[in-house]
């Protein structure tokens, strides 16, 4: 069982890292889109109707795809009023509690995202604008990234339980 859990943690951590690296490059894509918009609108006076929305979709994709790596690397925001003063065992206990709360939140979010994606697919939902892009790709991406964050949250719980066991055995 321990071997399987270690394998799970390794696979999910690597997957989160790979998706997170892709997310980092989305910033350059967004900058390119906004630069194209600025040049076409201000220099050659041919405004492109799709640039701002494409940049918004790219930013949304950036946030979604970067979430799991942020969890893996412990780079998320934390109210650190007393956390740093806790022992490793205390930190692990608190992290398990917050991870369980995160799993609940992400599960509810996933239910809503799946419902919204199903609606978008059934109705062929598009954004009401001049460009009129389909909402299906960004909603599917959102669902996939929420699932990856759930998997990463489970990985965090496994790591913290491991820390609790190690500190109990050492102490």
Residue 138 lies in a domain: yes
Whether residue 80 lies inside any domain: the answer is no
pLDDT in tens, the chain (171 residues): 788 999 999 999 999 999 999 999 999 999 999 999 999 999 998 989 899 999 999 999 999 999 999 999 988 777 778 888 888 899 999 999 999 999 999 999 999 999 999 999 999 999 888 888 999 999 999 999 999 999 999 999 999 999 998 888 776
Kindly report whether the global pTM for this prediction surpasses the value 0.85: yes
What is the domain count for the chain? 1
Q: Taking the CB of residue 86, how many other CB atoms lie within 10 A of it?
A: 13
Helices (H) and strands (E) in the chain, counts: 4, 0
Residue 129 has φ and ψ, to the nearest 5°, of -160, 180
How far apart CA 29 and CA 33 sit, in angstroms, is 6
Domain that holds residue 96: 2-75+85-170
Q: DSSP letter at 80?
A: -
C-alpha 102, offset from chain centre: 12
Would 113 be classed as within a structural domain?
yes
**C-alpha distances out from residue 149 to 59, 78, 142, 163, Å:** 18, 17, 10, 21
Which residue's entry shows tokens 């795809």?
65
Per the CB < 8 A criterion, the answer to whether 152 and 72 are in contact is: yes
Q: Please tell me the distance from the alpha carbon of residue 4 to that of residue 139, in angstroms, as a whole number.
A: 32
* Residue 95 within a domain: yes
| Domain annotation covers residue 154 | yes
């Amino acid at each position: 069982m321990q071997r399987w859990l270690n394998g799970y943690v390794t696979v999910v951590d690597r997957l989160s890292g790979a998706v997170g690296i892709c997310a980092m490059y989305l910033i350059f894509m967004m900058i390119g889109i906004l630069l194209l918009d600025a040049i076409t609108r201000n220099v050659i006076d041919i405004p492109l109707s799709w640039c701002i929305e494409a940049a918004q979709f790219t930013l949304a994709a950036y946030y979604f795809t970067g979430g799991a790596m942020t969890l893996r690397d412990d780079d998320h925001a934390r109210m650190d009023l007393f956390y740093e003063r806790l022992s490793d065992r205390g930190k692990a206990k608190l992290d398990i509690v917050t991870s369980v709360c995160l799993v609940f939140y992400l599960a509810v979010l996933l239910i809503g995202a799946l419902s919204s994606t199903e609606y978008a697919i059934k109705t062929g939902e598009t954004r009401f604008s001049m460009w009129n892009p389909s909402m299906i790709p960004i909603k599917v991406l959102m669902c996939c990234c929420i699932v990856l964050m759930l998997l990463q949250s489970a990985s965090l719980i496994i790591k913290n339980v491991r820390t609790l066991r190690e500190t109990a055995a050492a102490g």
